[in-house]
Amino acid sequence: MVYDSLLVFGVLFTATLPILLLSTSQVPVENNEVMHEVNPVAEGLGFQLYLLVVFISFYCWFWRRNKQTLGMQAWRLQVEDFSGQRISIAQCLVRLFGATISLLCLGAGYWWAWIDKDKLSWHDRWSKSQIVLLPPKK
């Protein structure tokens, strides 16, 4: 998760740059001497939804393409459904939403895997998917 959070930060930063560069304007202050830059696009709900779509797209694209994000590749992990196939878009969305809930509950959804008989977290169960450890490359 730490590796992927660094990658997601870079992706979100890159997605923000064009918005900031293309939508900045200057507004005079009362004394007309100092100008403040205002970016109405980057302050609205639309911008937040745009970043949410970028965030969701990052995970869905990697999970659907190779079953792994770049961070998962470093640890030889991959996500798949219970039959070993790629997860669907719906499963990606449920998994992301469920992982957020798991994290917001002070990580309880993640810790749950330690006591679960199948070693599955809450979001694994909800999305009908699982993380598997790949064998080392020879």
User: What pLDDT is attached to residue 79?
Assistant: 98
115 located within any domain: yes
User: What pLDDT is attached to residue 62?
Assistant: 97
- pTM higher than the cut 0.75: yes
List the pLDDT tens digit at each of the 138 positions of the chain. Answer: 889 999 999 999 999 888 877 766 655 556 655 555 656 666 778 889 999 999 999 999 999 999 999 999 999 999 999 999 999 999 999 999 999 999 999 999 999 999 999 999 999 999 999 999 999 988
138 located within any domain: no
Q: How many structural domains comprise the chain?
A: 1
User: What pLDDT is attached to residue 22?
Assistant: 72
**Partners of residue 26 on adjacent β-strands:** 37
127 located within any domain: yes
- Measured CA to CA, the distance from residue 106 to residue 110 in angstroms comes to 9
CB hemisphere CA count around 29 (13 angstroms): 6
Residue 91 belongs to domain spanning? 2-133
Nearby residues of 18 by Cβ (< 8 Å), 6 or more positions away:
none
Nearby residues of 15 by Cβ (< 8 Å), 6 or more positions away:
50, 51, 54
